[in-house]
């Protein structure tokens, strides 16, 4: 690696000299030193023939040695000053600029990052920046704000500021992850969520040339993630929800009805409006998933139809956050949902095992798992269920299928007790 020279036109009386620059961290660069032209017969093994009577050759070789030394010094000084390799354009600018170093080693202004990230979040919240042509969801903005809160907490706890200089150091990201995990005692997936969002905004700042590069990408920083313990509702539990008299609380009744409808159609909540647009005109509704762009075919069952007609095909809007909060309150009213279930997760870097009432784990997405489980337990193959769920592989849909352990135990006991 380093600088080497070669003859460009060996058959000409005089040839320009080519320079090849090959250092770690960059692709090979080849340029022409047009002002230096030599006779090919005076060139040997990448250098000028020198010796007695070849003073002109010695002058050219001296100049080549000087250029090589200047480029080599530039490469190593750049590394020491910036902590990264010079790129192709840096070398070209240096050489074409007469190999003057001054413009490459001026201290850059230090920029604090959190105010810039707050402004980006504000733009997304106000709809000035869009996500694939659509506004960012309320839940996404909430996650962004939780990330900002964690970043500010880190600055306070470590008595530092996150800047354009220190954020490109691997140890800064490692220290932030340690703060989330140990100081805040966060769950593994919560840490991953904060880091994933931080990575997103650092990529924007990198593209806007506020920081030199996205350190998550450059250092291949791993985003923590573990499979969450998830649940589906079985027939008895679902019937318990359906049979509740919630007429005294219209909001609870709406939440229960919408959740039950989702258990019948099995779509993601982000696709619910698309389903409702065509539910009145079709017995089978085709929905193109907003998340995966895969198609789902949704047959409208009698149970789903009764809910749609109850609201005249217009279910009042309610936020995902309120849905997730209220469905737990409603689930608490169903005795069978007080059954204890076991959670396993990592929190504060430690393995945790807890037993909690099942109703505490119900979310909107439980409805999708519930439908898939209901259909699989009824004997449908995964490939058939995928037509309705929109999953593109059996491996993906298998994570949604939750066998009813109680039914399995009853069948086992029936066999053993014969």
What pLDDT score was predicted for residue 24? 83
8 A C-beta contact, residue 202 and residue 215: yes
Residue with tokens 């997760």: 345
Residue with tokens 């010695």: 58
What pLDDT score was predicted for residue 175? 97
What pLDDT score was predicted for residue 87? 86
How many angstroms separate the Cα of 412 from the Cα of each of 244, 342, 415? 32, 22, 5
What pLDDT score was predicted for residue 400? 67
Question: Treating both helix axes as pointing N-terminal to C-terminal, what angle do 170-178 and 138-158 enclose, rounded to 10 degrees?
Answer: 100
How many angstroms separate the Cα of 413 from the Cα of each of 17, 36, 235, 407, 417? 88, 93, 21, 10, 6
Q: Which helix (H) or strand (E) holds 259?
A: helix 250-265
Burial status of residue 90 (CB atoms within 10 A of its CB: 0-12, 13-18, 19 or more): middle
What pLDDT score was predicted for residue 13? 83
8 A C-beta contact, residue 261 and residue 274: no
Q: Supply the pTM of this predicted model.
A: 0.65
What pLDDT score was predicted for residue 172? 97
* C-alpha–C-alpha distance, residues 387 and 305, integer Å: 20
8 A C-beta contact, residue 36 and residue 16: yes
SS3 188: helix
What pLDDT score was predicted for residue 112? 94
What token pair was written down for 157?
């706890």
What pLDDT score was predicted for residue 407? 67
What pLDDT score was predicted for residue 377? 85
The distance from CA 406 to its chain's CA centroid, rounded to whole angstroms, is: 38
Q: What domains lie within the chain, and their CATH numbers?
A: 2-104 (no CATH), 114-218 (1.10.150), 235-416 (1.10.443.10)
Q: List, in order, residues 6 or more apart from 393 with CB less than 8 Å away.
A: none
pLDDT beneath 50, residues of the chain: none
Q: List, in order, residues 6 or more apart from 122 with CB less than 8 Å away.
A: none
What pLDDT score was predicted for residue 412? 66
Instruction: Find the angle CA(28)-CA(32)-CA(35) to the nearest 5 degrees.
Output: 150
């Amino acid at each position: 690696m380093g600088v080497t020279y070669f003859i460009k036109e060996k058959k000409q009386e005089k040839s320009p000299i080519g320079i090849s620059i090959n250092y770690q961290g960059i692709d090979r660069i080849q340029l022409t030193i047009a002002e230096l032209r030599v006779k090919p017969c005076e060139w040997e093994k990448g250098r000028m023939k020198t010796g007695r009577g070849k003073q002109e050759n010695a002058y050219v070789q001296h100049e080549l040695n000087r250029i090589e030394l200047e480029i080599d010094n530039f490469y190593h000084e750049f590394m020491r000053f910036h902590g990264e390799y010079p790129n192709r354009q840096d070398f070209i600018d240096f050489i074409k600029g007469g190999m003057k170093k001054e413009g490459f080693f001026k201290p850059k202004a230090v920029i604090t990052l959190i105010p810039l990230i707050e402004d980006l979040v504000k733009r997304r919240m106000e709809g000035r920046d869009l996500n694939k042509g659509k506004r960012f969801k309320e839940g996404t903005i909430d996650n962004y704000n939780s990330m900002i809160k964690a970043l500010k907490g880190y600055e306070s706890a470590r008595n530092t500021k996150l800047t354009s200089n220190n954020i490109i150091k691997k140890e800064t990201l490692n220290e932030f992850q340690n703060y989330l995990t140990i100081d805040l005692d966060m769950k593994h997936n919560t840490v991953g969520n904060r880091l994933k969002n931080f990575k997103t905004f650092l990529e924007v700042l990198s593209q806007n040339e506020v920081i030199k590069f996205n350190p998550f990408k450059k250092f291949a920083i791993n985003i923590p993630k573990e499979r969450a313990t998830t649940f589906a509702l079985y027939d008895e539990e679902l019937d318990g929800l359906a049979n509740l008299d919630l007429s005294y609380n219209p909001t609870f009744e709406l939440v229960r009805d919408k959740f039950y409808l989702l258990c019948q159609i099995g779509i993601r909540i982000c696709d619910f409006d698309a389903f409702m647009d065509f539910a009145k005109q079709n017995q089978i509704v085709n929905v193109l998933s907003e998340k995966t762009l895969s198609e789902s075919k949704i047959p409208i069952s009698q149970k789903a139809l009764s809910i749609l007609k109850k609201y005249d095909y217009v279910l009042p809007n309610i936020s995902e956050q309120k849905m997730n909060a209220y469905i737990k309150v409603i689930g608490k009213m169903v005795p069978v949902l007080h059954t204890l279930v076991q959670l396993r997760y990592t929190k504060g870097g430690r393995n945790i095992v807890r037993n909690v009432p099942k109703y505490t784990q119900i979310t909107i997405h439980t409805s999708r798992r519930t439908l898939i489980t209901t259909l699989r337990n009824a004997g449908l193959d995964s490939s058939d269920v995928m037509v309705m769920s929109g999953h593109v592989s059996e491996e993906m849909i298998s994570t949604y299928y939750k066998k009813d352990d109680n039914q399995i135990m009853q069948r086992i006991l029936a066999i053993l007790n014969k």
